[in-house]
Structure 1
């Protein structure tokens, strides 16, 4: 379930509260008149099932509360009450299948701000990957993959395409390009320093690398893994299962390819540059494409569920009206 904290202009608060109370998929409705100071208004809090969140948020948007008031969405880790279970049963569909687009889009905008920490983590990840190439260490490759923060921006790029947000799309693409350029450039400088100190030689990169040679040798499976990882990553984000993202980070070879590219450039292993660049491009393109398709499929399936729910609601509408006097509740229009 999700918690909604609303700031509602006082003249409209009673109507909003009444509508939320009448929705069988909403519970724990709390009304605090005059409690909000910025923006001014009443505070209304409620818990809503994930399946109904898009309906409720869409209604609040149509009522103008996104502009005239305030809407905050929070995840609930648990709601172990009989009332909460009854509310969940009143909602059609499975919670993990519901996409709360307002939350997805808002989170995507938050991921493309381009903080210093994002650049720092990506640079550290690419540098660790370069060390992994020198030492031919698969453990360091995995470590570099986990440290890399780039998937959230890749997912934001997919959201921008599906949601038709050109501003989000542009910012995500620019951040990906700039951050990888900075990370590769700084790693290149460190690799040149290591070469000048005698720590790295051409043979370290061009010699046999049974554990890390795949980094600059993309093949069919590179594309397959990128697509699968993109699907899994987007599903984990839209379904609220971000713990699955660790597996996605370990699956894709974006950061290791960038590290190999910087190191190969530093030591003069120019024949490996096309392969490393191709590996990086294949992974990024595969994840974006898979993310777009996954979001489109999710949206289409959820529309079918919503349409079926509405048809069923229309079929029993008369019964709900008759039972309204005995305490039955009607959902948000």
Structure 2
């Protein structure tokens, strides 16, 4: 990131047949008016008008040379899925990856990353209707069809359409912290988090999961994180048997109730570290993690940083 040298440059690579929604998502999330130190632009294989899926067209001022300036490159989906992309685009992506640029794909854009060899030996995802094709075409990739996004560090992939929004907010969360991602999400009138894959910095837990059956119970739990929360108590609130509740909760959120609560508590601690100067022991109490040592344990296990390191990185940085 260029926090001291200038804005973080995000370049959206628009390929022929680009899906309009996929192109628009990074343009909105990383818009400089958000105030979080991003600049975003679009490029094509060449400058000019890039035809999109659905009869639209995107006017791009630059060709692939724009990728040489990018800190983050986002490849939106394009149709048909798996269509071979121009060789010069493949080489430009490889070159950007070799110099350390972060590269992300939305939806079918994963096929471009796969063609460039950037997903070899890694986990990845794409739209559910193309996951089998991606796995068959590139057996060296571990395709995970049932997640919203996968973060492998410098290479990230997301499922289709709206999952690209989850991925872009996740990148903001990694770069700028929980509060920044929340502010952008509020501006876009979207939930700050839907369960994705495991990540270097886990996304913010929300009361909204894949389904809505247990949304009220998750909302209830979010207001009581500093209290004892058990599966039996949550099931009673949802008026279900513990066994039925556990099954439905896992289906809707992608995690068990206790895993979800732990992440919610860690995320609450993250927000307090970013926005207050409260001591770690006090933050642990307010987040429902009990003691400072317990908070440090879970921070190290889930985020691979200490609370002090996290605060130094994100508190008041923007």
TM superposition score normalised by structure 1:
0.25
The structure carrying a bigger helix percent of its residues is: 1
Q: Which one has more relative contact order, counting CA pairs under 8 Å at least 6 apart?
A: 1
TM superposition score normalised by structure 2:
0.25
